[in-house]
Chain A
Amino acid sequence: MTIAASLPQSRGEKLWDLLEKAGCYLLGILWVLPLLYSVWMAFHAPEYEVRFELFAPLTLENFFNAWNAAPFGRYFLNTFMLISTILVCQFVICTLAAYAFARYEFRGKTLIFMLVLVQLMIMPEVLLVENYRTISQLGLVDTILAMGLPYMASAFGIFLLRQTFLTIPRELDDAARVEGAGPLMTLWKVYVPLARPIYVAYGLVSVSYHWNNLLWPLVITNSVTTRPLTVGLQVFASPDQGVQWSVISAASLMTSAPLLVGFLLFQRQFVQSFMRAGIK
């Protein structure tokens, strides 16, 4: 499609080209505008919420107000604990299962693999009524573990890692076996290191999913000591609390900040990871 540009153009074509480019940039600006406006609001005093002045004085007061009005520090800690628990368990559980699917023959393999893929369609939050019942029977309501448990065996992770493991030559397996390595040792020394980019990709996708997840944590937590950031923000910004818009903006930005900063710093890796995870 870039060829057309190198051909000689008539005046009409040039004008059309210009209009087209303008359209592209307009779409780009339109897409980022809501976010830019929220940033602007968060850094200005409440009286500028509806009065846009380019050189209005900047302030951090909204952030201080939000931080002091709700235990956001604790929420950050909870989210951090939730995400690290989920990620470590997902890596271990999905790696083991993916290895079984990629390198072993056993009875009912196809059927079991199909049963795993069911979770791609039916995410745990859709089954929240029954999952709530299960968690409360286990006596785990309002714990970090309860928020993570339904997601730890991730069909997406198993599928992604299986696809990757399948591309690793079997000879490496045999070589490791000759050296006397058992299955777990082979997995750890051969497969995991070779699949590193996929772990990074899956990790990024998983972290952003769980950082942003609201419904299941909202249902299963009810105290400050377990609530993750998303639920904390929901409680904080409820309309009946009567919090100012600029403070809500600041709180919303604050809760997204780590992901946002991470994305801006590692944009290329982020995009490539999402691509890699999507192509499989």
Chain B
Amino acid sequence: MYRIRTAVTPWLLLLPAAVLLAAFTHFPAVMTFISSTFQTPRGKRPAKFVGMDHYASMLSDPVFVAALKNNAIYALGTVPASIALAMLMAVIVNSAIKGKALLRMSFFLPTVLPMIAVANMWLFFYTPGYGLIDQFLGLFGFHGRNWLGDPETALGSLMVLAVWKEAGFFMIFYLAALQQISPSLGEAAALEGAGRWYFFRRVTFPLLMPTTLFVMINAFINSFRLIDHVIVMTRGGPDNASTLLLYYVYNVAFRYWDTAYASAITVVILIVLALLAFIQFGILDRKVHYK
């Protein structure tokens, strides 16, 4: 009796989590692939199998190409910038500087706030002419410009906001890692006469590597997941200059109701995420001793 119970117990314990995960992660992921090979059902007409047609039309869809390109720029721009800043912030907050607590608070605050709230605040800062940024630049004689309305600066403006919002969050992980580094390493290096920059490059930075990889993967995931600021600030415009993949999915699915095509674009995001997972578990984990 006892043995039967111990055999069944783990499955019963797992049941609620398994059902929900299957229903909202695994099943929809598989369904996304399947529905991307069918036409969007309209009215009573049943969906027709179209194979790879959606993927073919994607390549000639300028909005998709723009979204893909923008998302690549967005990820490759915001991820290294937030990582570098996060590292710098952690080193500052971990040093002997006065007012550490205040500095830490200042860096971390944007993380606590909802993206939608800060996006609304920054919308005002970017206002052409009298927004905070133009007023500030005006002091130095620069002319006002339409940051969010100009295809050349719209995406960059969103990226600046994203870095401001995320760097403090990643700082926390670096701070935790820095506190694990033994102070005797620093003392030894000082006795040897090593400069601070040398010490950082040869000791601190390599020791932070596992954290950097962890943060990097999370930052990349976020750059394909978080689009609140696009919705609030630019709606992908002007002329699709700031549209991101998930924002395009959202538009195609819930404004044009072309769910099949939206699924096909989602598949592209899933492939990118799968590649990231592969990098994390397949390659990097072997090179970096985790845990």
Q: Which residues in window 115-130 of A have CB below 8 A to B?
A: 115-116, 118-119, 121-130
Task: Tell me the bound Cα distance from A105 to B16 in angstroms.
Answer: 18
Task: Tell me the bound Cα distance from A124 to B246 in angstroms.
Answer: 12
**A2 interfacial by beta-carbon distance below 8 Å:** yes
Known: A237-B120, A267-B101. A129 touches B273 (CB 8 A): no
- Which residues of B are found within 8 Å of A274, using beta-carbon distances? 169, 172
Task: Tell me the bound Cα distance from A125 to B186 in angstroms.
Answer: 44
Task: Tell me the bound Cα distance from A30 to B17 in angstroms.
Answer: 43
Q: Which residues in window 206-223 of A have CB below 8 A to B?
A: 208, 211-212, 214-215, 218-219
- Per-position contact with A for B60-91: 1 when CB-CB < 8 Å, else 0? 00000000000000000000000000001101
Q: Contact at B118–A34, with CB atoms within 8 Å?
A: yes
Q: Contact at B225–A219, with CB atoms within 8 Å?
A: no
Q: Contact at B120–A119, with CB atoms within 8 Å?
A: no
Q: Which residues in window 46-97 of A have CB below 8 A to B?
A: 49-50, 92-94, 96-97
Interface size class on chain B is 35 or more
**B38 interfacial by beta-carbon distance below 8 Å:** no
Neighbour of A153 across the interface among B17, B32, B187, B224, CB < 8 A:
B17
Known: A1-B196, A132-B253. A126 touches B17 (CB 8 A): no
Can you report 7 residue pairs joining A to B where beta carbons are below 8 Å apart? Answer: A28-B106, A97-B13, A121-B221, A128-B250, A132-B254, A267-B104, A271-B175
**B124 interfacial by beta-carbon distance below 8 Å:** yes
- Which residues of A are found within 8 Å of B6, using beta-carbon distances? 104
Task: Say whether chain B's binding surface is mostly helix, strand, loop, or mixed.
Answer: helix
Q: Contact at B92–A122, with CB atoms within 8 Å?
A: no
Q: Contact at A2–B21, with CB atoms within 8 Å?
A: no
- Minimum CB–CB distance for A157 against chain B, Å: 9
- Per-position contact with A for B95-107: 1 when CB-CB < 8 Å, else 0? 1110101111111
Neighbour of B13 across the interface among A99, A149, A237, CB < 8 A:
A99
**B266 interfacial by beta-carbon distance below 8 Å:** yes
**B11 interfacial by beta-carbon distance below 8 Å:** yes
Neighbour of A134 across the interface among B24, B103, B225, CB < 8 A:
B24
Chain B residues within CB distance 8 Å of chain A: 6-7, 9-11, 13-14, 16-21, 23-29, 31-32, 35, 88-89, 91-92, 95-97, 99, 101-110, 112-118, 120-125, 127, 130, 132, 135, 164, 168-169, 172-173, 175-176, 186-187, 190, 196, 199-200, 214, 221, 224-225, 227-228, 231-232, 246, 249-250, 253-254, 259, 262-263, 266, 269-270, 273-274, 276-277
Task: Tell me the bound Cα distance from A253 to B118 in angstroms.
Answer: 9
Other than the given A104-B9, A129-B259, A259-B113, 15 more pairs (CB < 8 A) read A1-B186, A31-B107, A93-B17, A96-B14, A121-B273, A127-B29, A127-B266, A129-B35, A130-B29, A130-B263, A132-B253, A215-B231, A229-B114, A255-B114, A279-B173
Task: Tell me the bound Cα distance from A248 to B124 in angstroms.
Answer: 9
Q: Which residues in window 163-185 of A have CB below 8 A to B?
A: 183
Known: A100-B10, A215-B250. A134 touches B259 (CB 8 A): no
- Which residues of B are found within 8 Å of A97, using beta-carbon distances? 13-14, 16-18
Q: Contact at A234–B118, with CB atoms within 8 Å?
A: no
Known: A256-B114, A267-B101. A249 touches B121 (CB 8 A): yes
- Which residues of A are found within 8 Å of B250, using beta-carbon distances? 128, 215, 219
